Structures are given as C-alpha cells and as structure tokens.
Structure 1
Amino acid sequence: MADFSKFNWTFFHSAPVVAILRGLSAEACERVAEALSETGFTTLEVTINTPDVGQIISHLSRQFPSLNVGAGTVCTPDQLDEALTAGASFVVTPILDEEVITRCVTDRIPVFPGAYTPTEIYRAWNLGATAVKVFPASQLGVEYLKDIHGPLPQIKLVPTGGVSLENIASFFAAGVYGVGMGSSLLRSDLIAAGDYSSLKDHLRRVRAQLPQHSGGGAQEPT
C-alpha cells in the first residue's frame, strides 16, 4: 500500500505541476524522472495503462525521494488497488468515479479526480477531492477557469490538457491550484531521440513561468 508520508506538500507547492508519463518504457521513465528532479519539478504521475506500471512506480518512488510519484488515468477500484499496491502516493483520474474518490478520502490518499462541468467539479470537491482536475482544459481555456473560480472560489482547480509553455502563466494568473502537463512538458520528440539535455532546457523554460508562491489551502490529508 502507499506510504502516505511520501507525499510532500512542500515539494508540490514549490512547483505545482503534475508531469504525466504515459506509455514510456521503464528506462525512459527513469530518465524523465531524473530530468524533472534536476530542473526543479517535484510531482509526476505514471498512467495506469503504461506497460509495467507497477514496477515503474515502485522503482521511481525508491529512486527519487525528492519526487512525489503517483498513478494517473485511474478509472476503477481495481486500478486503484493496482496503483496503491505499486506504492503510488497520490491518484489522478480522468473521470469522476465516486468509489475511487471516497476510498482515497477514507484512506487519506491525495486524489485529483477529473471533472468537466461545474456540477461535476462541485460534486468531486464535495466528495473530498484534494483538488479537481479540470479535463480537458484544451477545450475550455483560461476564461472557463476564471468563470468557475468566480462562484466557486473554494475549489482547488488543476487544469490538464492544453497547458503549455506559452499559456501556463495565464492559468496561474487565473487562480488555479496547479496544472497537469503531458507532452507539452515532456516533449515526445526529445524523449524519442534520447535528447535529455534539450528536454531539461525545455523544462527549465516551463519552470521559469511558475509563480514563486502557489497553492495552499487544499484539503490536504492530516
């Protein structure tokens, strides 16, 4: 099961970006995790549909104590079991599955469930979500996040999908709690080419767009 003490909120707040590793080999995941750690990022998820995901999460958790390592694309209770058995310290979902959320809340596992509409976002928060993953943000944009934040300022939002180097600052200016980033952060062309030096340069450029102080006030486990 997950060691809940592994999730470090100070780490997360210092760089409130969840890096999404999907479908990469174990070797590539390790190289990417190393690049993230060296450039000031602190939180990554390995999607549950990645081959050998359990071994990868377990290995990264041991190898990189300066990173929060979680599981993403968790849609079912069985997948949640797989993630926790592997040692994931937090869980991200693309959908609103109430059983997954409530189990995480009961067991004090940070959970970022996916939601799209105001009703889904509000429901996820009321179920006890640590923060709500607004997905896909590419279809909604920054103005949508501002519109949600107006009447529901208490809800911590983590837009995912469509966040990039060019617009990440505008998302934080809109008051989001954090963001999720996949290929726009972890460029597949550079990873495929094994060009981790250029990947680190790109990561540093994204990191420079983050506000100095972010987050705070989420429903953090106690």
Structure 2
Amino acid sequence: MKQDVLNQLVKEKLIFIFKTQRIGDEDLLRAVQAVVDGGGRFIELTYDQPSGTACCHALPLLKEHFGGKIILGTGTILDEDEAQKAIDAGTEYIVAPNLSREVCSLCREKDLMYMPGVFTGTECVNAWKWGADILKLFPGCEISLDYAETLMGVVNVLPYFAVCKMDETMFEDCLNIGYVGAGISRAVNSRELIEQGRFDEIEKRTRKFVEIAEKHEQKGGRS
C-alpha cells in the first residue's frame, strides 16, 4: 500500500494540512470538501499532543464521509505510541517533524508510507537506511532553497518534500529545484477563512496550487 500512496503523492505533489484541535467537525468536513472540490486529494491531520484525541476522532470521521476521494494521513507524529494510535484510527500514511527509527519500523511493518522530518545529511541517510519512503526537509523553505538544493544533489537517496510557510511562488520554486511536492496549510486552510465560513475561497486557493502542480507535471519536472 505504501508504494501506491507514494506514487500517487509524487504525481499529485500536494498535501493539505489541517490542525484538528482547532476546528469542529462540521467546519472540518466543509473545509476538506472545499479542498476536494478544488482538486486536492491528500489530506493530513496534525496529531494533537499529548493525547491525540481530536486527530483520532477526525480520522474515521473523514474516511467515512469521503472514502476514496481522499488519501488521509497524520502529521506531527513524534514517536511509536502516537503512530500506533493514528494507525488504529485509520491513518493511511505518517508524517513527522523528526526522524524515529521505531516509527520507521512500525510503518514498514504496517506497509504505510513514512515521511520523517530531516535536516542534515546524516538524518537523510539514516532515514533511507531505516526504510523511510520520502524525506520531509523541515523547515523546508526557511533554511533557504540553496541549502535544500545542495542537500538534494549530494544526498540523493529518497524523494524530498517541502513543508514550511508555503505560498504559490514558493511552491513553484520548490518544484523547480527538485522537491517532489509540498505541504500546504495556512496558504489555503487558514483559521480565519474557516471561522468566517469562506469555503469558496479555500476551494479557489486549492485550485491554484493544483494548477501549478499539474503544469509542472506536464513539463516533466524541473523547469
């Protein structure tokens, strides 16, 4: 299953991220629907430490409502215990800000895509050796695109994914230097838009990112 998810992510190039502890069920369903209407498919729910209650509640809620229209994952997973709770709740992939050998092993056992957070060449190589599937260079843009491009060129072991303060211009820049995709949060799913019920704007912003991804795919990668 994890290879299918990874292949689809490399094609789609986008994960839309929601902080479940900040949003009620009805608003979450409407916001995710707006993302789907805008062409998005990958949804990530952030794990709310320490209990994960909001996330583990929202995972089955979204899966029951959207089914195969979305590929649903969990982010901000720090350790094996959190990963297991998310898996039990139905997550389809795991994203983290850190690298954990235990989480990597668990995801391999469960055949789930694991995207650990890395920053150095050593972390990238260890993630590769331990069986991770894709590398979340974190923070992916604030460190500078030059650093990211150099690291990707020297430690070319797995695909790299950007997660940072992402806007449309930065997304294009990331794709052009070799990232296979990016996580989108506030640029689309801002707390203000959700609280104001501006779900049409969420759909509109999603569509802009999807169009950039599709254009890049049609060009065959780097510009």
Which residues of structure 1 form unaligned runs of 5+? 217-222
What are the ranges of 5 or more consecutive residues in structure 2 without an aligned counterpart?
A: none
- Write the distance in 2 (CA, Å) between the matches of 1:39 and 1:11: 17
Query: Contact (CA 8 Å) 2:99, 2:127: kept in 1 or not?
Result: yes
Displacement of 1:188 after TM fit?
2.2
Deviations 1:92-118 (A, max 9, x none): 111111101111112211110111112
Summarize deviations over 1:142-162 as a string: whole Å, max 9, x none: 222210121122321011112
Identity of aligned residues (%): 21
Aligned residue identity for 1:54: C
Distance (Å, rounded) in 2 between the aligned partners of 1:115 and 1:153: 13
Is contact 1:178-1:215 (8 Å) kept? no
Equivalent-residue separation in structure 1 for 2:153 and 2:92 (angstroms): 31
Deviations 1:79-132 (Å, cap 9, x if unpaired)?
Answer: 111101110000011111110111111221111011111211221122111101
- Give the whole-Å Cα distance in 1 for the aligned partners of 2:114 and 2:40: 19
2:59, 2:75 → 1: CA distance?
A: 11
Alpha-carbon distance in 2 for matches of 1:162, 1:177: 17
Q: Is the 8 A contact 2:5 2:113 kept in 1?
A: no
Equivalent position of 2:17 in the other structure: 20
Q: Which segment is superposed worse, 65-74 or 158-167?
A: 158-167
Code of the residue aligned with 1:33 in structure 2: it is V
**How far apart are residue 37 of structure 1 and its match?**
1.0
Match for residue 212 of structure 1 among 187, 199, 217: 217
CA pair 28-214 structure 1, distance change in 2 beyond 3 A: farther
Q: 1:140 aligns with which of 140, 143, 147?
A: 143
CA deviation after TM superposition for structure 1 residue 212, in Å: 2.3
SS at match of 2:136: strand
Counterparts of 1:131 and 1:8, CA distance in 2: 11
- Determine if contact 1:177/1:214 at 8 Å carries over to the other structure: no
Residue aligning to 1:220: none
Structure 1 residue 140: Cα displacement: 1.3
> What residue in structure 2 maps to residue 200 of structure 1?
203
Question: What is the TM-score with the length of structure 2 in the denominator?
Answer: 0.87
Larger mean Cα displacement after TM superposition, 136-145 or 56-65:
136-145
Residues 173-221 of structure 1: CA distance to partner in whole angstroms, max 9, x if unpaired? 11112211221232222112110011111111222221225999xxxxx
Matched length: 213
Cα separation, 2, equivalents of 1:30 and 1:101: 30
